[in-house]
Amino acid sequence: MPFIKRQFNDIVKAIENTSESLELDCWEIIEEGFHFLNLERIKMLKDAASTSKISFTVHAPFASINLASPEPLQSVLLDFMDKSLERSHALGAKVFVIHPGLLSPFTIHFPEIAWESLVASIKHLAKFSENLGSPRIAVENMAPPYPFLISQFSEIERLFQELENFNVGLCLDVGHVKKAGGEKTFIRDVGRRITHVHAHDNSGESDAHLQIGKGVIDWGYIVHSLKKLNFDGYMVIENNTLEDAYNSVYYLKSLISQSFS
């Protein structure tokens, strides 16, 4: 995921100035690095949303977070994530995107311990979200070769079988999918799990977060498949610059208009 070093005020101005002109429905706030939420920032975002009529989603902290960590670290991390969920709820965010855990130097030898810890962490966050009333948890599929537990479609299926009674969806990261077997395989096998989408392009070799249409991903297939699935969530652009993101929006809007005409 790219980090854009901008003052938070600049992000708010971008929301106010472009949401209506681009007819955007949603902005995703990355609660990481330069953009952690606080009461002042939540008010700024709500004020911007009141004039631009958009919704927010939040990408949970991830830089030093491993939800597959066993106890005693797991409780510390979940307390941190609970506070992020509370801030996201205060913002009125619709979705709370989490990265799945990964194998550590310890759990690489005991992967089932990591898996059990990950499932327990997600269940905890889903219950906490339910108690708050929002936002909904969405687990993002990750890209190999990093040792994340959720990158292949078989792992996604296993995870959601174990989360059957919990209100958790899949955040389909299309760029990550391209590195993990291809968009057609994933949507065919786990399409019914998708509640949120991260959109960016690549060559299939690296997680480059290219402008949509500048890589090899079949976006016509993506748009057509989401339509067939009656997808009604948000598609969030994840590019390296705002200019690339705006161009990606124009590209996708053209495809969507063709698909629905």
| Token couple for 69 | 């960590």
189 falls in which pLDDT band (50, 70, 90)? confident
Which two three-digit tokens encode residue 207?
């997680």
Radius of gyration for the chain, computed over Cα atoms and rounded to the nearest angstrom: 18
Whether 197 is in a domain gets the answer yes
| pLDDT surpassing 60 at residue 134 | yes
CATH of the domain at 20: 3.20.20.150
User: Region 34-63: what's the mean pLDDT?
Assistant: 93
2 falls within a domain: no
Using H for helix, E for strand and C for coil, what is the string for 180-245? Answer: CCCHHHHHHHHHHHEEEEEECECCCCCCCCECCCCCCCCHHHHHHHHHHCCCCCCEEECCCCHHHH
Could you give the CA distance from residue 14 to residue 69 in angstroms, rounded to a whole number? 37
Residue 3 belongs to some domain of the structure? no
Confidence of residue 19 (pLDDT cuts 50, 70, 90): confident
> Structural domain of residue 86, as residue ranges?
8-260
Structure confidence at residue 7 (pLDDT): 76
Domains of the chain: total: 1
Average pLDDT, the chain: 93
Look at residue 123 and tell me if it is in a domain: yes
Q: Which of 180, 191, 189, 175 is nearest to 224 (CA)?
A: 191
For residue 22, the tally of other CB atoms under 10 A from its CB is 13
The answer to whether position 231 is within a domain reads: yes
Q: Which helix (H) or strand (E) holds 254?
A: helix 242-260
Q: Classify residue 129: in a domain, yes or no.
A: yes
Picking from 16-25, 85-94, 223-232, which range would have the lowest pLDDT averaged per residue?
A: 16-25
3-state SS assignment for residue 35 = coil
Structure tokens at 237: 């652009």
d(CA 49, CA 46): 5
DSSP character string of 91-109:
HT-SEEEEPPPB--TTTTS
Cα–Cα dist 62/233, whole Å: 22
